[in-house]
Amino acid sequence: MTVDEGPKFNTLVWSDEFNGKGIIDTTKWFHQTQIPKHGEWWGGIIQHYTNRIENSYLDNGKLHIVAKKEVFEDQGWQKDYTSARLNSKFAFTYGRVEIRAKLPFGVGTWPAIWMLNKNIKEDGAYWENQGFGTTNWPMCGEIDILEHWGDNQDYVSSALHNGSSHGDIVKNVGGQKIKDASNTFHTYVFEWDKDKMTFSIDGVEHYQYQPSIKNTYTWPYDSDYYLILNIAIKPDIDSNFIESPMVIDYIRIYQ
């Protein structure tokens, strides 16, 4: 289904065009590097997230988040892969998010652009550090604008996690196959109002979430959420993998 070309959200309220060269804009982004207490990130992923320029930098008007194969020790833990995980210092309720990006290659890579409620209790997250953490996952709510798994090249998925649908039993999910996700820029759009959420790629809708009953289990989506950009590495990573980037041309938020 093709999305209506006349979006109701048309006032730009926040953006990053990723101009410049070198370090990212730290007035807009926070590097989340603190490992959970058990020494591994949730979901069984096996990389360190770092704040090094090798893993996240600006070049040629674009943000590069780079997953790399390298032995790296941090916080008392040695891992064989590194990447970056960025939290936005902007949070909002309702609007349209537009992202132009291309995604990394490689079986075992797991890039994502997603959102969490700024009330999530998660040690080391930007909004937790600001004193907003009150609610555990999944009751805080999660919005996955896009995910891509390297073992299913070119299939892009969107999902909602909440008290009624989360983790391995998530049921609020949809996706589509696109052409050449890793070499070609595509435009990923998420629209969110008080009634529903819609996800599309290049104007083609692939999922809509509009639960008939809205309560704390199905719809925690009426307060501020922030963006997360990352590439995770799964245990089944291709042994020949060396490095691959997620390249983002821009992110724009309209209300």
pLDDT digits (tens, 9 = 90+) for 122-171: 999 999 999 999 999 999 999 999 999 999 999 999 999 999 989 888 89
Q: Is 142 a catalytic residue?
A: yes
* Residue 40 contacts residue 79 (beta carbons within 8 Å): no
Phi, psi of 151 (to 5 degrees): -85, 0
pLDDT in tens, 78-135: 999 999 999 999 999 999 999 999 999 999 999 999 999 999 999 999 999 999 999 9
Q: How confident is the model at residue 55 (pLDDT cuts 50, 70, 90)?
A: very high
pLDDT in tens, 225-240: 999 999 999 999 999 9
Tell me what pLDDT residue 72 has.
98
pLDDT at 69 over 60: yes
In angstroms, the CA 109 to CA 67 distance is: 8
Tell me what pLDDT residue 167 has.
83
In angstroms, the CA 201 to CA 126 distance is: 28
Q: Is 17 a catalytic residue?
A: no
Q: DSSP string covering 150-196, please?
A: GGGTTEEEEEEEBTTB-GGG--EEEEEE-S-TTTS-EEEEEEE-SS-
Percent of the chain with pLDDT over 70: 97
Catalytic residue among 98, 128, 142, 191: 142
Tell me what pLDDT residue 186 has.
98
Percent of the chain with pLDDT over 90: 93
Residue 88 is given by DSSP the state E
Omega into 138 within 30° of 0, i.e. cis?
Answer: yes
Q: How confident is the model at residue 4 (pLDDT cuts 50, 70, 90)?
A: low
Q: What is the pTM of this model?
A: 0.96
Catalytic residue among 98, 122, 147, 191: 147
Tell me what pLDDT residue 168 has.
80
